Structure 1
Amino acid sequence: MEIVEPGRPGWRPMTPIERETAWDRFDETFDFRASVNPEGWPAIDEPAPSVTFDLSVSNGPRLLTAFAALNAEALRCFVWALPDIDELLVLDWQHTAWWFDPRLDDAPAQWDDVQRAQPTVFPDGDYFAFLSPDMTEGTFGHPWEQTLCVMGDRLIDTLGKSLALWLPVVRVNGESTEGRRS
């Protein structure tokens, strides 16, 4: 059993039954396939509409600012673009699953925040999904492929447009685009 310490405002852990139900729905909806091998990527069947971004360009000296900027922008978009959603469900592969009210989160996580118990939109070693309760809108971060899939019209129109200013698009609606890193 995983021990969950108190975290930031707006976060509450799912019960074991809620977690199991959420992962079962996620697996059924997206055909989730965890893999460190490129042959198994992407790890989900990316829905339409969706846009997937290449996070590998943020490695090296850009990593800390990219991590902070992406998490802050995602938080802003969750609040502004999804005002009708009280809580997102947040899945963290092999860890605690969460209910998250982005309106109550007082500060996006920083890379060096060693006290961080909750996942971030920017994948930092695990698969992270931030999803509307019906799983039609949200994000999915792939740590090994170094990608972020943004799902649903409202988030594509906000978070997707913002990220497209500085991150390459690698897939749209699950289909490859030019600009894919080799």
Structure 2
Amino acid sequence: MNWHDLSEEETEYLWRRVNRAVKWKPGSIFASIKPPKPFQVFDVSQGFNGIGFLEDAEMQILKAFQSCTLEQEFMYALDWQHECYLFNPHAPIDKNEFGEWPVPVIPNGDYCFFIQQDFQWGLLGDPRQQTITIFGSPLIKAIERNAPFLLQK
């Protein structure tokens, strides 16, 4: 399986690191994501209305992750209040019993973050705002080259 569970200690450490990196205060009524520049924010509210958007987003975002990583490189997939993982975007992507990634690309009720191991770039899903924030030049450029329908302006 390509999704490698992180230990509780690793997960806690990573969430503290994420909170500092993107200035996010989970649980706060004013929880907002403020990633390092450059970043772009996309409204993904349409993604909650159809499966076609989700499949396209998974495929195109996976291509973007692949273009930003080496073949043996792993990245973090973090799902707030759920299991968090290391995964390799170049390996086959296993899906759960619902036919979805264990950590969804489009936030489906929880904050879902995909972050490069050195925190140079990432994708931050905010379910409350129904947005995805892409930060870091490499990932922004990769998304611009082949944007999912949901992220096209």
Partner of 1:121: 105
1:154 is aligned to 2:138: yes
2:151 pairs with 1:167: yes
Q: Which residue does 1:86 correspond to in 2? A: 73
Structure 2 residue 138 is matched with structure 1 residue 138: no
Q: Give the letter for the 2:45 counterpart.
A: S
For residues 70 and 117 of structure 1, what CA distance do their matches in structure 2 show? 12
Q: Is residue 3 of structure 2 the alignment partner of residue 11 of structure 1?
A: yes
Offset of residue 85 of structure 1: 6.7
Change (3 A) 1:140 1:34: same
1:69 to 33, 56, 72: 56
CA distance in structure 2 between the partners assigned to 1:17 and 1:11 by the alignment: 17
115-124 vs 127-136, greater mean Cα deviation: 115-124
Percent identity over paired residues: 24
TM-score by structure 1 length? 0.73
> Separation in 2 of the partners of 1:18 and 1:83?
23
Alignment partner, residue 26 of structure 1: 18
Residue 56 (1) aligns with residue 45 (2) = yes
Aligned residues: 153
Instruction: Tell me: CA distance 1:92–1:58, structure 2 relative to 1, closer, same or farther (3 Å).
Output: closer
Q: Which runs of 5+ in 2 are unaligned?
A: none
Q: Which runs of 4+ in 1 moved over 4 A?
A: none
> C-alpha separation between the residues in 2 aligned to 1:125 and 1:140?
13
Mind listing any 5+ residue stretches in structure 1 that lack a counterpart? 1-8, 170-182
TM-score for both structures, normalised by structure 2:
0.85
- Residues 1:46 and 2:38 are matched in the alignment: no
Distance 1:163 1:33, change over 3 A: farther
1:36 Cα deviation from its structure 2 partner: 8.8
Q: Residues 28-47 of structure 1, C-alpha deviation per residue, up to 9 Å, x if partnerless?
A: 1112133696xx36x21122
For the pair shown, which has the larger CA radius of gyration, 1 or 2? 1
Q: CA RMSD in A?
A: 2.5
